[in-house]
Amino acid sequence: MLFSQAATVKTLYPVGLALGVPPHVLLALFPAVNGYFFLPNYPTEVAAIGFDRTGTTTVGKYVINHSFQLSGFITTFVSIGVGYLLCCCLLTA
């Protein structure tokens, strides 16, 4: 996993094109390259955990079960779905 969306795209999108994935599908899949919410190591996440005085923003017993996990997955899946629908609708119009 790369922590840069640009590096991930530059590395993996040529592989997708070589495998025959249509460019509009790769465009719709762009939100999937965001992995900041997966591991809580980005400065804004660490700051949010540190600044939260209520104690609701936490890192659990395991590193990958933290407060940003569920919201990150939901927004990624919804963004991919909406992007795919938009790309398909624009291509057929």
Q: Which residue has the tokens 């939100």?
A: 31
* DSSP state at residue 61: S
Q: Tell me: the pLDDT tens digits for 36-90? A: 777 777 777 778 778 888 877 777 777 677 777 888 889 889 999 998 898 878 7
DSSP calls for 14-52: HHHHHTT--HHHHHHTGGGG--TTTSTTSHHHHHHHHH-
Q: Which residue has the tokens 């936490």?
A: 58
Q: Tell me: the pLDDT tens digits for 9-28? A: 898 899 999 999 988 889 88
Instruction: Tell which residue, 72, 27, 20, has the closest CA to residue 45.
Output: 72
Q: Is the pTM of this model over 0.75?
A: no
Contact 21, 77 (CB under 8 A): no
